[in-house]
Amino acid sequence: GENVEQHPSTLSVQEGDSAVIKCTYSDSASNYFPWYKQELGKGPQLIIDIRSNVGEKKDQRIAVTLNKTAKHFSLHITETQPEDSAVYFCAASNPPNNDMRFGAGTRLTVKP
């Protein structure tokens, strides 16, 4: 089955700097890669996703890149703000069951 690894487990940056979180997956059949943000005491919320027919996607300060050959994808947050502080999860989904496999999470702290 699919295995998703996520690095780093914790990340601390200064406000205004960029943050990068990386994930690798094992199943080449995976074709959907979402990123979720989880704030303390809440459920995860989708912030951006990418499908396997696209190499990069951007939404304001957030971007995701996908390298299918290497089986890794990354989340890039530019101009970080204190409200970006949260736990971020990557995930991979593949047919036929569409069940999602999550990385272990990255706790991002943005220092003002």
Partner 1 sequence: DGGITQSPKYLFRKEGQNVTLSCEQNLNHDAMYWYRQDPGQGLRLIYYSQIVNDFQKGDIAEGYSVSREKKESFPLTVTSAQKNPTAFYLCASSIWTGSLSGANVLTFGAGSRLTVL
Candidate ranges 3-11, 55-63, 65-73, 77-85; the one touching partner 1 (CB under 8 A): 3-11
Q: Which residue is listed with tokens 């996908």?
A: 66
d(CA 77, CA 94): 26
Contact 54, 73 (CB under 8 A): no
Q: Is 112 in the site for partner 1 (CB under 8 A)?
A: no
Q: Is 28 in the site for partner 1 (CB under 8 A)?
A: no
The residue from 19, 24, 25, 30 that contacts partner 1 (CB under 8 A) is 30
**Smallest distance, partner 1 to C-beta of residue 30, A:** 8
Q: Is 53 in the site for partner 1 (CB under 8 A)?
A: no
Gyration radius of the chain's alpha carbons: 13
d(CA 77, CA 58): 10
Candidate ranges 2-10, 14-22, 56-64, 65-73; the one touching partner 1 (CB under 8 A): 2-10
Q: Is 74 in the site for partner 1 (CB under 8 A)?
A: no
Beta strands in 1-112 (DSSP E): 4-7, 10-14, 19-25, 32-38, 45-51, 56-59, 62-67, 72-77, 86-93, 100-102, 106-111
| Interacting residue ranges for partner 1, rule: CB under 8 A | 1, 4, 6, 9, 30-32, 34, 36, 41-46, 49, 51, 89, 93-105
